[in-house]
Amino acid sequence: MPQGQRRADMDTFLKAMAKKAVWEYPDIDSLKGKKFKGLTELRWKSDGIPHRILGYRIADRQYLCLIGCTHNAKKYTPPDAMNSAKTRRDQIQSGEASYREYQLVTHR
């Protein structure tokens, strides 16, 4: 697969999601485990490998991306992706960390 394909796939997926009013499975799913309650993952496959963005909805039509990872054979890469997502959410909610708007690759 040519270099850049994963990036283009992510751009295309995120742009499609940004336009959709309702997000549903299998494009999005909740993370399992009480510890991760409220966190979700955006899901698509690129280069035959499941890709994920872990995050949560912060307002209507606003989604906060906490970390990107792959999810192959039930293992996240990086392996601590879920814990990192939780830590980052906690930091954002306590005001220790901040976030900024992600600029979609678009023609508009």
Partner 1 sequence: MNINSSLIAELKDKQYRDAYVASQIRISLPLQIRALRKSRDWTQPELAEHAGMAQPRISEIEKPGERRLNIETLLRLASAFDVALQVNFVPFSEFIDFNEDLDLDNFAIESFARELIRAEAKEELLAANVGHADSANPASKGKANQLFVVPKVLTTDENERKPSLPEPNPFSIRGELANAASCGNPR
**Residue ranges that bind partner 1, judged by CB under 8 A:** 2-5, 7-9, 11-13, 16, 19-22, 26-27, 44-46, 51, 103-108
Question: How many whole angstroms separate alpha carbon 12 and alpha carbon 104?
Answer: 9
Least CB distance to partner 1 at residue 79 (A): 22
Per the DSSP assignment, residues forming a β-bridge with 71 are 76
> Distance from CA of residue 46 to its chain's centroid?
14
Evaluate the CA torsion angle 52, 55, 56, 61 in order and state its sign. Answer: negative
Residues 81, 23, 73: CA angle, nearest 5 degrees = 35
CB-nearer residue toward partner 1: 32 or 45:
45
CB-nearer residue toward partner 1: 51 or 86:
51
Least CB distance to partner 1 at residue 3 (A): 6
Least CB distance to partner 1 at residue 61 (A): 12
